[in-house]
Amino acid sequence: QPGLYIVATPIGNLGDITVRATETLARCDGVACEDTRVTGKLMKHLGLSKPLWRYDDHAGEKDRARLVAAMQEKAVALVSDAGTPLVSDPGYRLVRDARAAGVPVTTLPGACAAIAGLTLSGLPNDRFLFAGFLPNKDKARREALEAAAKADATAIFYETAPRLVKSLETLDQLMPDREIAVARELTKLHEECRTGTAAELAAYFAGHPAKGEIVLLVGPATDEPVGEHDVDALLSEALQSAKP
Ligand code: SAM
């Protein structure tokens, strides 16, 4: 079927490719991808060979228009180097344009580092805020951390290894009591998830420099998740007060 297929790919462990993703990559007419070498390797692993069309952060309106035109007649899969396309990865404008052009768009969910990190961390997950990559500049990074702290939810950031200790030190200045998690190399051989205060984690990673890919999570100010009982109590309270 012609259209746009948003296909999640593994974030490290190739076993995480879904059956639907594999079938779709096998059936599609071509794959729009960030880096043809990276996707080429995945296709090779799956024993597939399809035209690969580069679609990265530098893609412009013309590239999008060409792809959207192709989707009118062809099945186009969109993948990123790893994980779920559009999540801190290209694709948002492509999906918007495809939808606006009336192209059928469907999604094939799968691995996403933010969700994998959240589930592994043990931090409250009834409310969470995904805030993408922390900015590079000190001031902007501090502001991003402060803003997330106000959200009354677990905040999830993508982080880089060289910056980790600095971010943890900033977190220690801003919120020394929060529970923090560093989830590293998820689904890979050296998967690791450490929790503690920012000071504890900063000290640990200063002595054991982190390598690889990192998700940084900041727990909410109150660590009591809204449990089922609380929801029940809130509901009956609301119903009581609604009675005439
Ligand atoms: N679209 C991807 C997803 O669904 O997770 C994210 C792409 S973003 C460009 C890449 C960042 O995601 C990395 O710098 C890292 O912060 C995080 N990430 C990706 N794979 C990871 C992994 N296996 N373990 C920990 N973090 C990971």
Q: CB-based contacts of 138: which residues, under 8 Å, 6+ apart?
A: 166, 170
The alpha carbon of 211 and the centre of ligand 1 are apart by a number of angstroms equal to: 13
Q: Which atom of ligand 1 is nearest to the CA of 82?
A: 2
ipTM value for the complex = 0.99
Percentage, residues of the chain above pLDDT 70:
91
Give the model's pLDDT for residue 95.
98
Q: Using a 6 Å cutoff on CB, does residue 130 contact ligand 1?
A: no
Contacts of 206-209 with C-beta under 8 Å, sequence gap 24+, read: 206/165, 209/161, 209/165
Q: Whose CA is nearest to atom 2 of ligand 1?
A: 83
Helix axes 164-174, 198-207, angle to 10 degrees: 160
- Could you tell me the two tokens for 176? 């020394």
The alpha carbon of 75 and the centre of ligand 1 are apart by a number of angstroms equal to: 26
Of the candidates 47, 154, 132, the one whose C-alpha atom is nearest the C-alpha of residue 83 is 132
Q: pLDDT (tens digit, 9 = 90+) per residue, 116-143?
A: 999 999 999 999 999 999 999 999 999 9
Ligand 1: residue of 39, 80, 87, 88 to mutate (most ligand atoms within 8 A of CB) is 88
* Surface-to-core class of residue 112, CB atoms within 10 Å of its CB (0-12 exposed, 13-18 middle, 19+ buried): buried
Give the model's pLDDT for residue 244.
56
In sign, the C-alpha dihedral spanning 210, 125, 156, 6 is positive
Give the H/E segment covering residue 180: strand 180-184
Q: Using a 6 Å cutoff on CB, does residue 86 contact ligand 1?
A: no
